[in-house]
Amino acid sequence: MANTVPDISLNDGNTIPQLGFGVYQIEPRDTAEAVGRALEIGYRHIDTAQMYGNEAEVGEAVRASGLDRGEVFVTSKLNNGFHRPEDARRAFESTLSALKMDYVDLFLIHWPLPTRYDGDFVSTWKTLEEFQRDGRARSIGVSNFQVPHLERLAAEADVVPAVNQIEVHPYLTNEQVRAYGGEHNILTEAWSPIAQGRVLDDPTIVDVAEQVGRTPAQVVLRWHVQRGDIVFPKSTTPKRIEENFRIFDFTLDDTAMERISGLDRGEAGRTGPNPDEFDYIPA
Ligand SMILES: NC(=O)c1ccc[n+]([C@@H]2O[C@H](COP(=O)([O-])OP(=O)(O)OC[C@H]3O[C@@H](n4cnc5c(N)ncnc54)[C@H](OP(=O)(O)O)[C@@H]3O)[C@@H](O)[C@H]2O)c1
């Protein structure tokens, strides 16, 4: 079985590689090297954000790779401090100039911030619609949106988000939000897919890994892709960057899939903030 990363169709006709490379918490000074390594191994999808502070180094690594711009899918996300339309427009320009690119493949509202900006994420979303119309964002989407937030966009905006990037891993399977996406043609992107390492020594995961002769991280990432979600594990360790890429040359049977899904702890399994309450704005 060849290890080939599938391309998945988005609701706007574009496609996205199902496996990417996440760069959250990678220091700017380490980013170009890590992304360069990922591109060498075969990753063709990088997930960054304005708040990660490393967009410039992502752009640098893509250029240094010698790959054509069109061969690499690049996502970035709007800083929480810039939800007002005029701020979002300026911030989006700063993303393109940091990346030194004339478009991004996907641009997301990073957090809904329902307790900020008078609860108005709709005008922010309509500003992202502008970026898509003028071609500088090939696709647009949201991140950390709960079902009521998605319902509000459906009622008040024209464009359906291509993706919703949310926390998903075996301890927080986030079924309700995923199901809404499934019913409305919004792909789920699973962030912190290995729960920042916390699920890797779970006895069930270790047991499944032994049965299939793979590592715990590979088994968890494989569980995500078999559920149809998009993943972009982060690592600055070369061996792990490679390990996380080798997940398309084996399969998990239904029993293994169900055992892993059965580890869900609901809200108690969350490792990151609750999107209904999160209101952080960088200084
Ligand atoms: N939209 C959002 O609000 C949001 C929030 C969080 C994350 N994200 C995105 O999702 C991406 C992934 O999430 P994440 O970075 O939080 O966590 P993650 O990918 O679940 O886990 C990363 C951690 O696991 C370790 N690790 C990676 N591969 C491993 C392996 N094969 N074996 C053992 N340990 C391994 C890494 O260590 P080393 O680096 O030391 O190898 C790192 O400490 C982010 O980079 C970002 O792009 C988005």
Centroid of ligand 1 to alpha carbon of 196 (angstroms): 5
Query: What phi and psi, each to the nearest 5 degrees, are found at residue 104?
Result: -110, 155
Centroid of ligand 1 to alpha carbon of 193 (angstroms): 7
Low-confidence ranges of the chain (pLDDT < 70): none
Sequence-separated (6 or more) residues with CB below 8 Å from residue 144:
110, 111, 112, 165, 166, 167, 275, 278
The full DSSP string for 29-66 is HHHHHHHHHHHHHT--EEE--GGGT-HHHHHHHHHHTT
pLDDT at 109: 99
Q: Which residues line ligand 1 (CB under 6 A)?
A: 22-25, 47, 110, 143-144, 165, 191-197, 200, 217, 232-237, 240, 243-244, 272
Atom from ligand 1 closest to the CA of residue 24 = 45
Centroid of ligand 1 to alpha carbon of 128 (angstroms): 26
Residue with tokens 């399994």: 269
Q: Is 43 a catalytic residue?
A: no
pLDDT digits (tens, 9 = 90+) for 20-46: 999 999 999 999 999 999 999 999 999
pLDDT at 1: 83
- Annotated catalytic residue, options 43, 52, 171, 180: 52
pLDDT digits (tens, 9 = 90+) for 251-273: 999 999 999 999 999 999 999 99
